[in-house]
Amino acid sequence: MKNFADVLIEEILHKNSVLVVGLDPDLQYFPDFLAGNDEISNQQASEAIYHYNRIVIDAVAEHAVAVKPQLAYYEVYGSEGIHALEKTIAYAKSKNLIVINDAKRGDIGSTSSAYAKAFLGNGSLAGDMVTVNPFLGSDGYLPFIEEAGRNGKGLFLLVKTSNPSSHEVQDVKLENGELLYIKMADDINKLAQQTLGENNYSFIGAVVGATYPMEAEKVRKVLPSSIFLVPGFGAQGGTANDLKPFFDAKGLGALVSSSRGIIYNGAKEEKKTEAILYEFIAKAAKESKDKINEVRLSH
């Protein structure tokens, strides 16, 4: 069974892309021909979400290596929303896209093991990778690493997230003067070095926000063999030039995620048909891919 880091790198080289498109369905941004507001039933919302996601997946499949459903947007619609997520995962896989479940799960012991099986096993919610909150400690994230290793999948552990208040916890200085996010990176690296693939990258990755390029440079020194999942590009303020520290000399080592800037590109009122919506999304995905490539391949 291949190390999932090698699978990921093969896809990156095949598509010449490190773009990840977030699937964050927010009905207020949907065009009117689908569902333009929240005043609909959960069943109608589920149908609209899956319809929209199919359009997005078709539009970005040529330009992206992965899609990243943010689970909260599905959970809010109960079992119907989860059903839309299950169908979305299956559809993305049918289009040969890697699926990263943005679940940010984290618990302890048997509960973490159950989460790991749900998202990295063989069930209907399982993708190829999952985001994990490691701040409960090693008994919270080791079950995910074990499950990923067994099934040839991968995960991303939160290290330095893109949100403005991340410094309140992640930048706390420890007694030895080390910052907490650096300590977390060091802990992850010890495990990553034991799980390297042929390309010298581990299936244990890290979430490091595009909004913190200076911090990313520090994390990269501590985590040389982990692929970074880089949120915050586009709508959250991260620019293409901010991405340079995330990549190695070959332009590898990171996946860059964009959600709103791609799936809600253009004015809602202009998207009167499915074909027009498709074109808006495909154009934004190609432009994002090209901007990122210009930076990552200029090393």
- In angstroms, the CA 85 to CA 152 distance is 22
Count CB atoms within 10 A of the CB of residue 22: 24
Supply the DSSP string of 7-74, one letter for each residue. HHHHHHHHHT--EEEEE---GGGS-TTT--SS-S-HHHHHHHHHHHHHHHHHHHTTT-SEEEEBTHHH
Residues 6+ apart with CB under 8 A from 168: none
- In angstroms, the CA 285 to CA 266 distance is 12
- In angstroms, the CA 119 to CA 69 distance is 12
C-alpha distances (whole Å) from 49 to each of 38, 85, 122, 231, 242 are: 12, 9, 23, 22, 32
> 239: helix, coil or strand?
coil
| Residue located via tokens 């860059």 | 256
- In angstroms, the CA 151 to CA 129 distance is 11
Tokens standing for 82? 């989860």
- Residue 171, judged by CB atoms within 10 A of its CB (0-12, 13-18, 19+), counts as middle
2 is catalytic: no
Q: Where are the beta strands (DSSP E) in 37-196?
A: 66-69, 98-105, 129-132, 154-160
Of residues 15, 87, 95, 104, which has the active-site annotation?
Answer: 104
Catalytic residues: 104
